[in-house]
Structure 1
Amino acid sequence: MATAKDKNEIWEWIKVLFIAIILAFSIRTFLFTPIVVEGYSMEPTLHEEDRMIVTKIGEPKRFEIVVFHAPDGKDYIKRVIGLPGDRIEYKDDTLYINGTPYDEPYLDEFKQEMVNGLLTGSFTLRETPVGSDVVPEGHLFVMGDNRRGSTDSRHIGAIPMEKVIGTTNIVYFPIKEIKIIRK
């Protein structure tokens, strides 16, 4: 028969377990969550089956990698190219933001492999589903690093901020690929 001391100890363990569950749920819901990369749209930066940590704190910045709920119901992982109010244009494989050319060092590996043609075809925002000259307020323009194999804002339009889950830059698995992604 259980004594009062045994019952008290069981009750203490139940409280600790309950607090741990609430704490884990809160951290996952409000601060961090894991994600698995599916597909090849972020090659060569990220690879299929990479496991990453998504941070749900703060607003995304230019060239950060974000995870968001896409219109097809899946979660996509892409790089932020344009912020609200930005004019985005690609011309001769060069990114122009508000008329200023930007270097994209994360594309260097793929650009070196290009024998003929451009990695990123020329376009303006008006020629995409965004349909205007600037990224709308409360939206982001995102693209995959694998420009020839990515479904991104060139196809699905600007991403509303409320669809953004968070930013990510830490690959924690596979072990030999652990890294922090720099912009």
Structure 2
Amino acid sequence: MAGDTIGDFLHPKLTWKFLLRLAAVALTAYLIFGYLLIPCIIHGGSMEPTYASTGFNFCWRGAFFFDKPKIGDVVVVKYEDRVFYLKRVVGMPGDTISFYEGKLYRNGQQVEEPYVKLPSDWNLPPRHVEKGHYYVVGDNRSMDIDIHQFGQVAAKRIIGAPLW
């Protein structure tokens, strides 16, 4: 169009139309990054080698709008106000979870876990997963503190899934 220059692009005229578009973009960004995509910093090595020990990811809160987490899903758990962890769901409400010599048992049956690469040898007596809770642990089972730090979490603390 005639009259369009780089200067017009860099210094737009402050018309009501421009201000409304700017407000719409700002509101959309606020809604997306405030409620649907939450930035997460991954600390520690509890999900190695599935996820790097330190890194950045987004939590997609829409992951469980219409469906509940399933066995094997990697979820984002809200631990404190702005502290989020990635964990894998290994037990559903009503299940009994135990570990013997580092192997996961769900309802008395050993579970094959191809994503667990680092061996462990710790034991955990059977624990019943309460209604409204899930049992979550990291993929790096050699970090035995992980099982004691998490384990059973309330469904309301699972806020989404990692975007990538």
TM-score of the superposition, structure 1-length normalised? 0.70
Tell me the residue number matched to 2:102.
93
Q: How does 1:2-41 map to 2 (within 5 A)?
A: 10-41=15-46
Determine the C-alpha separation between the residues in 2 that align with 1:152 and 1:34: 22
Matched, 1:168 2:162: yes
Change (3 A) 1:165 1:79: same
For the residue of structure 2 that corresponds to 1:61, the secondary structure is coil
Tell me the residue number matched to 2:123.
122
Determine the C-alpha separation between the residues in 1 that align with 2:54 and 2:102: 29
Q: Point out where structure 1 has 5 or more consecutive residues left out of the alignment.
A: 1-7, 112-118, 126-132, 171-183
Please provide the CA RMSD for this pair.
Answer: 2.4
Tell me the residue number matched to 2:4.
none
> What one-letter code is carried by the residue in structure 2 that aligns with 1:91?
Y
Q: Which is richer in strand?
A: 2
| CA displacement at 1:98 relative to structure 2 | 1.4
Where does structure 1 differ by over 3 angstroms across 4 or more consecutive aligned residues?
150-153
| CA displacement at 1:157 relative to structure 2 | 4.7
Determine the C-alpha separation between the residues in 1 that align with 2:17 and 2:145: 51
Q: Point out where structure 2 has 5 or more consecutive residues left out of the alignment.
A: 1-12
Q: Which is richer in helix?
A: 1
TM-score of the superposition, structure 2-length normalised? 0.77
| CA displacement at 1:34 relative to structure 2 | 2.8
Q: Is the 8 A contact 1:89 1:123 kept in 2?
A: yes
How many equivalent residue pairs? Answer: 148
Tell me the residue number matched to 1:45.
50
Determine the C-alpha separation between the residues in 1 that align with 2:78 and 2:144: 15
Determine the C-alpha separation between the residues in 1 that align with 2:110 and 2:153: 23
| CA displacement at 1:151 relative to structure 2 | 4.2
Q: Is the 8 A contact 1:144 1:151 kept in 2?
A: no
Q: Is the 8 A contact 1:35 1:54 kept in 2?
A: yes
> What one-letter code is carried by the residue in structure 2 that aligns with 1:80?
V
Match of 2:136 among 138, 142, 147: 142
Among the aligned pairs, what percent are the same residue?
30
Determine the C-alpha separation between the residues in 1 that align with 2:148 and 2:81: 15
For the residue of structure 2 that corresponds to 1:158, the secondary structure is strand
